[in-house]
């Protein structure tokens, strides 16, 4: 079975209407259709009922879902380098405005000191990381050149780069770039001290969005936590592919493959 495209990013939320309001007002996503029950998703996640709504920004789509019964809350002390952490990176043409707008809507900063300009060796982007009201991590990216709005990638924290690259290449993604990020800007961006991270981009046949592996060599990573499908931390990358599957990668990140 092979993936063909990153179809959408899905995450569980505590209260659907509250999350929808945040993603609309703070991030610019717009609803696609109406809030609806989804029996098939409820069966996939192992709960009695799910309410969900899909939202779009530019060419990309997210899905927010509220599970009944609700899963565990997002871990309160999760750090950027903890195994199991996953975020989506949202493209903005004006990060100075975007981050102020997000803060006004209740975003909680991860990055210290506002948006950070990363060195050219790390891509030369301006970035800012933050939590939504449920504790999920997110990132704003402003590229040196204009890029269309949407989300650029989903980044996942991994324990072993080679193992994760092999897993995703087995699904049909291709290693596109790799950098080693460190320095003051990286520390500020991640809210860490002494951050040293391997960053590896993996592209499906359709290049955007893509998957980004984050392997922190330092500081020491937190132990992986058991995350059940309905938990608030159980983000899902949904791919269009040549078959159907519900998988976990070597670090426990959830993957859904839907027939193209």
Q: How far apart are CA 2 and CA 204, in angstroms?
A: 9
**For residue 141, what pLDDT is reported?**
96
Distance separating alpha carbons of residues 185 and 183, to the nearest angstrom: 6
With 0-12 / 13-18 / 19 or more C-beta atoms within 10 angstroms meaning exposed / middle / buried, residue 216 is buried
- Determine the distance from the C-alpha atom of residue 75 to the mean position of all C-alpha atoms in its chain, rounded to a whole number: 16
Nearest to 132 by CA among 37, 40, 233, 3: 233
Q: Are 200 and 175 in contact (CB under 8 A)?
A: yes
* Mean predicted lDDT score pLDDT of the chain: 95
Tokens linked to 238: 């949904």
d(CA 132, CA 78): 13
Place of tokens 């290049």: 207
Strands (E), 137-227: 137-142, 150-157, 174-182, 196-203, 210-218
* Pairing status of strand 30-37 against strand 137-142: unpaired
**pTM of the complete model:** 0.95
Residue 223 has pLDDT above 80, yes or no: no
Give the model confidence (pLDDT) of 248-260 as tens digits.
Answer: 999 999 999 999 8
Delineate the domains of the chain, giving CATH numbers in brackets. 3-73+225-259 (3.10.180.10), 86-218 (3.10.180.10)
- Rounded Cα distance between 134 and 232, Å, is 8
Neighbours of 158 (CB within 10 A): 26
pLDDT reported for residue 125 = 93
**Residue 112 clears pLDDT 90, i.e. is over it:** yes
CA-wise closest residue to 19 among 129, 138, 112: 138
């Amino acid at each position: 079975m092979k993936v063909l495209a990153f179809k959408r990013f899905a995450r569980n939320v505590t209260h659907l209407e509250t999350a929808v309001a945040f993603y609309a007002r703070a991030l610019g996503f717009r609803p696609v259709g109406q809030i609806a029950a989804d029996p098939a998703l409820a069966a996939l996640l192992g709960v009695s009922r799910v309410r969900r709504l899909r939202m779009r920004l530019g060419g990309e789509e997210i899905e927010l879902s509220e599970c009944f019964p609700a899963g565990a809350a997002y871990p309160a002390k999760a750090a950027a380098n903890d195994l199991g952490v996953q975020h989506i990176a949202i493209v903005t043409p004006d990060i100075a405005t975007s981050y102020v707008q997000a803060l006004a809507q209740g975003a909680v900063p991860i990055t210290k000191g506002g948006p950070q300009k990363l060195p050219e060796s790390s891509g030369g982007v301006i970035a800012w990381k933050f939590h939504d009201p449920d504790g999920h991590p997110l990132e704003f990216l402003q590229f040196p050149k204009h890029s269309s709005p949407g989300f650029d990638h989903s980044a996942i924290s991994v324990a072993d780069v080679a193992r994760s690259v092999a897993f995703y290449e087995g699904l049909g993604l291709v290693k596109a770039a790799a950098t080693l990020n460190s320095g003051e800007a990286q520390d500020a961006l991640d809210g860490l001290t002494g951050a040293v991270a391997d960053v590896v981009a993996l592209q499906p046949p359709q290049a955007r969005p893509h998957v980004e592996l984050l392997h922190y060599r330092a500081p020491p990573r937190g132990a992986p936590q058991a995350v059940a499908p309905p938990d608030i931390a159980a983000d899902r990358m949904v791919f269009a592919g040549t078959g159907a599957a519900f998988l976990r990668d070597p670090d426990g990140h959830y993957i859904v493959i839907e027939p193209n």
